[in-house]
Amino acid sequence: MTAVLVARKEQFPQIAASFGLNPGAMHALLSLDADEPKSMSSLAGSWKCDASNVTWLVDRLEEHGLAERRLHAHDRRVRTVALTRKGAKVRAQIEARLFAPPESLRDLSARDLDTLCRILEKIAPKGGPRF
């Protein structure tokens, strides 16, 4: 799986564009969830960008109807962000394309693919694949 992700990395911008998103917004979409709203500030941390950029990216996702801001239960300063139903659907579609074996891997034997995955799992960064 990691092998596929590594191979796919080059195609991020194209895949994003095919959904009308820029790479940053697609990255954002893939790290959001419908069930676990996350605060804007925590997103700035995990996306490693400025808070003002989180505002901008979430605006883009909201424009597409893919994510929505919600109120925090106990702190009225905080806005949380979660995927809409449509957002979850699009995220699933993107993941399907990301995890589908890319052209360049179709020529590999099953044995080679296994070997490749095994090796790349070893060198994958801690915390799993990062987009």
Which residues of this protein are in contact with a copy of itself, per CB under 8 A? 6-7, 9, 104-105, 107-108, 112, 115-116, 119-120, 122-125
In the complex, minimum distance from the CB of residue 95 to DNA, in angstroms, rounded to a whole number: 20
Which of 76, 106 has the CB closer to a copy of itself? 106
Nearest Cα neighbor of 23 from 33, 6, 10 is 10
Contacted by 83, from a copy of itself, DNA, none: CB < 5 to 8 Å by type: none
Which two tokens mark 113? 């693919």
In the complex, minimum distance from the CB of residue 100 to a copy of itself, in angstroms, rounded to a whole number: 15
Q: How big is the site for DNA, counted in residues (CB under 7 A)? A: 29
Transcribe 7-46 into DSSP letters: HHGGGHHHHHHHTT--HHHHHHHHT--SSS-EEHHHHHHH
| Residue 80 is a binding residue for DNA (CB under 7 A) | yes
Which two tokens mark 45? 């941390």
| Residue 61 is a binding residue for DNA (CB under 7 A) | no
Q: How far apart are CA 73 and CA 62, in angstroms?
A: 21
Which residue of 75, 96, 122, 125 would you call a contact of DNA, by CB under 7 A? 75
Q: Tokens 């895949």 belong to which residue?
A: 15
